Chains A and B, each alone.
Chain A
Amino acid sequence: MSNDMINGNGKRSYKLMIVDDSNLMRRRIERSQQFEELELVGTAADGVQALELFKRTDPDVVTMDITMPHMDGIECIARLVEMKPAIRILVVSALADKATAVEAMERGANGFLNKPFTDRQLNEAIAELIR
């Protein structure tokens, strides 16, 4: 994590990137997350866009869907972690089988949240990631 990023309230701040092929879901995550420490630096609709956005914005925290066109979340996770081992990734996916969750974690994800989720569940998952 970027230890030297402090926001106006003296709290550590983290740059957030949201990756999901659904615009609705990207808006939902952006709207529902309740952390002052998170500064949204961009959103991406697939793994390819996510990697491009990563290079421009260097996010600390990522929410990542799995089933996406062009490059899925599993491959994207592996590439992000390779470029920035300290990155924190929360998978947010409809895929509810354990094998997928295990694979995501083995590739470097730090948490897994199944869709559909409540605002509370999302925020609890993010809290686990950044605190």
Chain B
Amino acid sequence: MLYEQELKTFVEGTTNFFEVAAQQPASIGSPYLMEGSPSVHEYTGVIKISGKREGVVYFTAPKAMLTVLLMKMQENDFSHETMRDLVGEVANTISGNARRDFGRDFVISVPSVLSGEKPEIPQKPGQRSFIIPINWRSHSAKLVVSLT
């Protein structure tokens, strides 16, 4: 269960990431709730949450968006490994930043990264997820927050 103020924490964290790291703001669509997990893009960075809350936070993005993001970050390595690194780092940054509001008992894991078709997100059956749509330079990604 995610409260409105908590959802705002993740929205602001996402906005801040793109403004600072990508030097270009993203626009955030209307968050919505769904049962289970939404479809994912080519790369997904997953953070397991434990402590005061339990669940997962993940950032899923297409290769095209990650490529441009890397360019904006002055990178010239667009390998599969670097894409995985980036998507994990985005998920890590947004989740870690959430501790500003959630506190240190919002324990985040090191990122795990999923890529390829239909990867399995480690999520409890029946768990609901908040989907935060992200639009950046004509690309779309999602931040998904699924917490008890």
Contact = CB atoms under 8 A, between A and B. Distances in A.
Contacts of A31: 74
Interface in B73-114: 73-75, 77, 81-82, 85-86, 88-89, 92-100, 102-104, 106, 108-110
A94 B93 contact: yes
Interface string A91-119: 00111110110000000000000111110
A115 B111 CA distance: 15
Chain B: interface size category:
20 to 34
Nearest to B100: A96
A113 B18 CA distance: 17
B89 A97 contact: no
Given A116-B16, A117-B20, A93 B89 contact: no
Contact of B96 (A21, A69, A93, A118): A93
Given A24-B89, A27-B75, A67-B108, A116 B99 contact: no
Contacts of A93: 96
Interface of B: 16-17, 20-21, 73-75, 77, 81-82, 85-86, 88-89, 92-100, 102-104, 106, 108-110
Contact of B110 (A28, A68, A96, A114): A68
B95 A94 contact: yes
Q: Please report whether the interface of chain B is mostly helix, strand, loop or mixed according to DSSP.
A: helix
A67 B97 contact: no
Nearest to A70: B110
B26 to A, nearest CB: 13
A69 B93 CA distance: 16
B103 A67 contact: no
A89 to B, nearest CB: 18
